Amino acid sequence: MKLHIPLTTTEDRSYAIDIANQFAIPETMLQGRRLFIVSNAKVWQLWGDALCANVHQQPYHLYLMEDGEQFKSATTWIAIQEWLLAEGANRKSLLLALGGGVVGDLTGFVASTFMRGIDFIQIPTTLLSQVDSSVGGKTAINLPGGKNMVGTFYQPRLVAINTTTLSTLDPRDYAAGLAEVVKYGFAMDSALFEYLENRVTAIMERDQVTLAHIIAWCCRIKSEIVAQDEKEGGLRAILNFGHTFGHVIEKEGHYCDHNHGEAVAIGMVLAARLAEKVLSLPASATERLIRLLEQFTLPTTTTLTQETLDAGVASDKKSADTTITFVLTPSIGQAVLTPFSLPFRLKEISA
291 is catalytic: no
Catalytic residue among 232, 250, 262, 276: 232
Catalytic residue among 72, 157, 247, 318: 247
199 is catalytic: no
Spatial separation of the C-alpha atoms in residues 225 and 26, rounded to whole Å: 26
Catalytic residue among 243, 251, 258, 318: 243
Maximum C-alpha span of the chain: 62
User: Please, where are the H alpha helices in the chain?
Assistant: 27-30, 41-54, 74-86, 101-113, 127-128, 171-188, 190-198, 200-204, 208-228, 243-252, 260-278, 283-295, 306-313
Q: What is the dihedral of CA 211, 194, 299, 146, to 10 degrees?
A: 80
Catalytic residue among 72, 183, 236, 318: 236
Q: Single out the residue of 351, 174, 343, 344 nearest to residue 275, CA to CA.
A: 351
138 is catalytic: yes
243 is catalytic: yes
1, burial (CB in 10 Å: exposed 0-12, middle 13-18, buried 19+) = exposed
Contact of 46 with 111, CB cutoff 8 Å: no
If you write DSSP's letter for every residue of 6-22 in order, what string do you get? EEE-TTS-EEEEEEESS
247 is catalytic: yes
222 is catalytic: yes
Tell how strand 60-65 and strand 35-40 pair up: parallel
Catalytic residue among 54, 162, 240, 259: 240
259 is catalytic: no
Spatial separation of the C-alpha atoms in residues 36 and 87, rounded to whole Å: 9
Residues making up the chain, counted from first to last: 351
Q: If DSSP states are collapsed to H, E and C, what string results for 134-162?
A: CCCCEEEEEECCEEEEEEEECCCCEEEEE
Spatial separation of the C-alpha atoms in residues 23 and 19, rounded to whole Å: 9
Catalytic residue among 260, 262, 276, 318: 260
Catalytic residue among 69, 180, 230, 250: 180
Catalytic residue among 40, 69, 138, 251: 138
2, burial (CB in 10 Å: exposed 0-12, middle 13-18, buried 19+) = exposed
231 is catalytic: no
208 Cβ contact partners less than 8 Å away, ≥ 6 residues apart: 1, 21, 163, 164
Catalytic residue among 147, 157, 222, 258: 222
213 is catalytic: no
205 is catalytic: no
**85 three-class SS:** helix
Catalytic residue positions, numbered: 116, 138, 180, 222, 232, 236, 240, 243, 247, 260
